[in-house]
Structure 1
Amino acid sequence: MEYRIVTKPGFDVIGYTIRTRMADGQNHRDIPAFWQRYTEKKLGETLYEQAVSMAEYGICDDFDMEAGEFSYIIGVEAKEGAEAPAGTIRRHYPEQTYAVFTTPMSTPEQFSDSIQRTWGYIMSEWLPEAPYTHAAAAEFEYYDERCWQDRNELLEMDIYIPVQPKSEEA
């Protein structure tokens, strides 16, 4: 699977968050269910007024490796001066270098599986062999018009993994 290395400038996100666990693949159940609730309740509509675009992020953050937990945020990139609506959070993410992977094109029914397979490839195959290590920063999914079901028969999105060259390891 091909990837590209990019340096993303710092940005702010406003969104909704859940806490999930990696044990027994709980996150693989919690996150799709969270997206389903987010979509069904049209929660994005409360965010778009504060956003720089209609693109949405799925961000893995606040890792507690000892407990096997992390937070997952569904949100939008905030306009300068945007206020977080009630029930949401605002987070700042500093400039970071990322390896960016695009999921294979898939039908809407297979989209979630495609995303999970891409994550699996990144973590179990690519990262152990890559000339990079996972940097201590948030990783995220970027959902833009390429995955809007009302415009596309086949969907794709990008996964951003924070990296640093192996030679820069502490």
Structure 2
Amino acid sequence: MNYKIVEQAGFSLVGIKKSFSYVDGEHLSGIPNMWQEAYTSGTEDRLFHLNNGVIKGLLGVCVDQNEIQEKQMEYWIATTYDGEVPEGLSTLLIPSSKWSVFEVEGPLPASMQSLWKQISSEWFPSNPYEHAGIPELEVYPGPNHPPQIWIPIKS
């Protein structure tokens, strides 16, 4: 697992969101379907062109919703954006954090899903870091750049 530690000031996102259950792997099929719908509807292209923030490209944002409903997450397809929220999109503020950034290797979505499992089952238990309790990011910088997983951490 290739990774680096970075510090990032807070930033804002705009995008679309949907809730998924972890039960029976609903999120594992639902999230790729959400991306397909965003591509087909033109939302993905719209977000890509709105990107004017600190992280280049499109983001998949994983927000834990266990306080609202057990085994549930909210997933965003978004981009970093500074400005008035465009019509039809929602906004989310990500606070300053230290991040562990992992490069994803191989075909999507299987390689992304596999790396998520490795991070939780292998990387966290063997490192001194704890999860910082804010949303996690999947970063899709665009052609010729590998996707990344950004995990917020604290020592």
Task: Give me the TM-score of the superposition, normalised by structure 2.
Answer: 0.89
Question: Aligned equivalents of 1:89 and 1:117: distance in 2?
Answer: 29
- How many residues were matched structurally? 152
Identity of counterpart residues, as a percentage?
A: 29
For residue 159 of structure 1, what is the aligned residue in structure 2? 149
1:31-42 equivalence runs, <5 A:
31-42=31-42
Q: Is the 8 A contact 2:48 2:58 kept in 1?
A: no
Give yes or no for contact 1:60–1:138 (8 Å, CA) kept in 2: yes
For residues 24 and 36 of structure 2, what CA distance do their matches in structure 1 show? 21
RMSD in angstroms over aligned alpha carbons? Answer: 1.7
Contact residue 46 and residue 85 of structure 1 kept, 8 A: no
How far apart, CA to CA, are the structure 2 residues paired with 1:45 and 1:4? 29
C-alpha distance in 2, partners of 1:50/1:111? 24
Distance in 2 (CA, whole Å) between partners of 1:51 and 1:135 is 25
Which runs of structure 2 are paired with 1:103-114 in the superposition (5 Å)?
103-104=104-105, 106=106, 110-114=107-111
Distance 1:35 1:48 in 2: 13
Which runs of 5 or more residues in structure 1 are unaligned? 166-170
| Structure 1 residue 99, shift from structure 2 partner | 0.7
Residues in 2 aligned to 1:37 and 1:71: alpha-carbon distance in whole angstroms: 16
Give the deviation of 1:48 after TM superposition.
4.3
Go from structure 1 to structure 2 and tell me whether the alpha carbon gap of 1:47 and 1:83 turns closer, same or farther (over 3 Å shift).
farther
Q: Name the aligned partner's letter for residue 128 of structure 1.
A: P
Once the 2 structures are TM-superposed, how far is the Cα of residue 24 of structure 1 from its aligned partner? 1.1
User: Structure 2: which 5+ residue stretches go unaligned?
Assistant: none
After superposition, residues 32-111 of structure 1 pair within 5 angstroms as: 32-52=32-52, 55-64=57-66, 67-79=70-82, 82-104=83-105, 106=106, 110-111=107-108
SS in 2 for 1:83: coil
CA contact (8 A) 1:50 1:83 kept: no
CA contact (8 A) 1:13 1:78 kept: yes
Give the secondary structure class of the aligned counterpart of 1:156: coil
Q: Secondary structure at the match of 1:115?
A: helix
Deviation for aligned residue 1:49: 4.8
